[in-house]
């Protein structure tokens, strides 16, 4: 599966959400109309499942999304994150063997 730049960025955001935010999109203002359209397409294909949900914060109720990545999405997110890390490691250090 080939992803556009916007799709890659969204996948990395949703991977972060799944890992560090327990699947809850903390603030839907991080998503724009294009992101929501991509999420709708991914939902249909089963690549990344997303669902509108209510999260309670004390007396307040926040409308947000919950996400779940498919095995394919997890694999692609791992690949993208590794590539990103390798681009930012200083070249001299990156060439050393582990």
The residue segments making up the domain with residue 86 are 5-93
Is 25 a residue whose pLDDT tops 80?
yes
Note whether 67 and 77 are within 8 A (CB): no
Q: Residue 3 — very low, low, confident or very high, per pLDDT cuts 50/70/90?
A: very high
**Calpha distance 9→49 (Å, rounded):** 16
Please indicate whether residue 26 or residue 69 has the higher confidence score (pLDDT).
69
Q: Give the per-residue pLDDT at 30.
A: 86
Phi and psi angles of residue 33, each rounded to the nearest 5 degrees, phi first: -60, -40
The average confidence (pLDDT) of the chain is 91
Contacts of 12 (CB under 8 A, 6+ apart): 77, 80, 81, 84
Residue 41 belongs to domain with CATH number: 1.10.10
State residue 59's pLDDT score.
Answer: 81
Question: Does residue 36 form part of some domain?
Answer: yes
Question: What is the phi/psi pair of residue 42, to 5°?
Answer: -65, -35
- Residue 98: inside a domain: no
Task: Give residue 48's pLDDT.
Answer: 98
Residue 48 counted as domain residue: yes
Place of tokens 């582990």: 98
Total structural domains within the chain: 1
């Amino acid at each position: 599966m080939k992803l556009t730049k916007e799709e890659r960025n969204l996948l990395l955001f949703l991977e972060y959400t799944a890992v560090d935010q327990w699947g809850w999109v903390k603030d839907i203002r991080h998503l724009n109309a294009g992101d929501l359209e991509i999420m709708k397409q991914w939902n249909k294909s089963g690549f990344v499942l997303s669902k509108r949900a209510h999260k309670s914060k004390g007396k307040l109720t926040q409308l947000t999304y919950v996400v779940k990545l498919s095995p394919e999405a997890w694999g692609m997110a791992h690949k993208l994150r590794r590539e990103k890390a390798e681009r930012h490691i200083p070249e001299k250090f990156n060439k050393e063997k582990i």
